[in-house]
Amino acid sequence: LRNQKKYREGLAAADEGEQILLASGNKLHLGYIYSIKADILRGLGDKPAFMEYARKCYDLAVELQDELTIAQGLEKLGRAHLEAGNMAQARKLFEESLEMAQKINFPTVIFSNYANLRDWYLLQKDFVRANTYEELFQAGRDSVFNAGMAEKVADAQTRYETEKKEAEIQRQRAELLNQRLYIFGLLGGLVLFILAAFFIYNRYRARKKAELDAAIIREQQLGLNAVIEAQEGERKRIAKDLHDGIAQELVALKLGFNLLQNKLRRVAPSEAEGLDGLLGQLDNSCQEVRSIAHTMVPPTLEQHGLVPSLELLLNNVAKPAGLNYRIEEMNWPASLDEK
């Protein structure tokens, strides 16, 4: 508020701060408040009050033995005496403040005293010395300005370097992130490729296994068909041999025994009767051979099909046993594959 020249608001705030610091006994900060109030009162043009608080600031600084605050207090008190017209006292205070400020290297107070002494010599119409202090004041102000500018430039350079480094760090982080994303993408693509290759390989292996199984089944079927055909051929051959060979020989043998029996009846009837048992056995053998041959290769099955063959089988088996039967056709083909 003081720097903004809002003196009334600043004075109210300083009064409030003064009361708080007096109550707390904080003399160090109280001296700072006295210095601020002195500046505000000077800005308001209240010379007596300005003198009062400049004195309070100086007295408290002496009590605290703080050289910096003492130098400030001497400068403000000297300014108050200058504005009050106490020229000798004002110069004495300015010179004491300048000496102490130079001792502790306090530039602000040094330059303020240069300006105060310039004003003092102007009032004394000593323009040569006034000009000397003006030059000192301007040089000091320029040096402060240059130092401030150098500090600002250094700060700006520092900020620039910091921002540059941060930008470089961000760029490196972005590159690292891109590299990681690229690597993850490659890994993901590789995983997908491996999974796809594994899936395709499994499909291929399953297809080949199915083809192999089908080939094995075909080979087994062909082998089974060959066995069945061989068995069927052998069965037909045996049945044919039984029917055309042994059965015919047995029939011829039976006919020979019948002829022999007829001849014996004329010569020796008793001996002829003895051949009846042998002829019965021979007749049974003929029927058994025919039955075996028909069972192995039923002529009805080959000539008429499955249904008539089943009817004949049931008629020969069930009817003598007194069993009733019925065959229901279910659209069976008239002829079946032998296999």
Give the single-character DSSP code of 335.
S
Residue 147, pLDDT > 50, answer no
- Which of the four pLDDT bands, split at 50, 70 and 90, describes residue 334? low
Residue 164, pLDDT > 50, answer yes
Give the single-character DSSP code of 321.
T
> Which tens digits make up the pLDDT trace of 63-87?
888 888 888 888 888 888 888 888 9
Q: Please enumerate in sequence order all residues whose Cβ is within 8 A of that of 39, keeping only pairs 6 or more positions apart, or say none.
A: 2, 76
Expressed in angstroms, the distance from the first to the final Cα of the chain is: 120
- Which of the four pLDDT bands, split at 50, 70 and 90, describes residue 120? very high
Residue 283, pLDDT > 70, answer yes
Q: Kindly report which listed range (6-20, 41-55, 157-171, 308-322) carries the lowest average pLDDT score.
A: 308-322
> Which tens digits make up the pLDDT trace of 213-251?
888 888 888 877 777 777 777 777 776 676 667 767 777
Give CATH 1.25.40.10 domain extents, the chain: 7-125
Q: In terms of pLDDT, which residue wins out, 62 or 239?
A: 62
Q: Determine the pLDDT at residue 121.
A: 92
Q: Determine the pLDDT at residue 232.
A: 74
Residue 309: both structure tokens together: 């063959």
Q: Kindly report which listed range (5-19, 37-51, 258-272) carries the lowest average pLDDT score.
A: 258-272
Q: Determine the pLDDT at residue 335.
A: 58
- Cα separation, 25 vs 21, in Å, equals 6
Residue 253: both structure tokens together: 């043998």
Q: Compute the average pLDDT of residues 287-304.
A: 68
Q: In terms of pLDDT, which residue wins out, 32 or 123?
A: 123
**Alpha-carbon dihedral angle through residues 290, 292, 293, 294, given to the nearest 10 degrees:** 80
**pLDDT above 90 covers what percent of the chain?**
6
Provide the 3-class DSSP secondary structure of residue 305: coil
DSSP labels, 7-61: HHHHHHHHHHHHHHHHHHT-HHHHHHHHHHHHHHHHHHT-HHHHHHHHHHHHHHH
Q: Determine the pLDDT at residue 294.
A: 67
- Which of 192, 297, 197, 203 has the alpha carbon at shortest distance from 241? 297
- Which of the four pLDDT bands, split at 50, 70 and 90, describes residue 24? confident
- Cα separation, 318 vs 314, in Å, equals 5
- Cα separation, 222 vs 140, in Å, equals 119
Q: Compute the average pLDDT of residues 162-169.
A: 77
Provide the 3-class DSSP secondary structure of residue 270: helix
- Cα separation, 242 vs 287, in Å, equals 11
Q: Determine the pLDDT at residue 256.
A: 78
Long-range contact set of residues 234-240: C-beta below 8 Å, sequence gap at least 24: 235/296, 235/297, 236/296, 236/297, 238/296, 239/292, 239/293, 239/294, 239/296, 239/297, 240/293, 240/297
Q: Compute the average pLDDT of residues 327-339.
A: 62
Greatest mean pLDDT range, 150-159, 205-214, 218-227, 306-315: 205-214
Q: Where would I find the H helices in the chain?
A: 7-24, 27-44, 47-64, 67-84, 87-104, 107-123, 127-240, 247-267, 269-273, 275-296, 299-304, 306-317
Which sign, positive or negative, has the C-alpha torsion 19, 22, 23, 28?
A: positive
Decide if 225 contacts 339 (C-beta within 8 A): yes
- Which of 202, 192, 279, 294 has the alpha carbon at shortest distance from 242? 294
Q: Determine the pLDDT at residue 266.
A: 77
Amino acid at 180: R
CA angle (91 as vertex; 62, 18 as ends), nearest 5: 35
Q: In terms of pLDDT, which residue wins out, 339 or 258?
A: 258
Average pLDDT of the chain, as a whole number: 78
Decide if 94 contacts 120 (C-beta within 8 A): yes
Q: Compute the average pLDDT of residues 277-292.
A: 78
**Cα 50 → chain centroid:** 73
CATH code of the domain made up of 7-125: 1.25.40.10
User: Which pTM value belongs to this model?
Assistant: 0.39
Residue 146, pLDDT > 60, answer no
Residue 300, pLDDT > 70, answer no
Long-range contact set of residues 240-244: C-beta below 8 Å, sequence gap at least 24: 240/293, 240/297, 242/289, 242/292, 242/293, 242/296, 243/289, 243/290, 243/293
Q: Determine the pLDDT at residue 309.
A: 67
Q: Max alpha carbon distance in the chain (Å)? A: 204
Decide if 59 contacts 31 (C-beta within 8 A): no
Q: Determine the pLDDT at residue 153.
A: 35
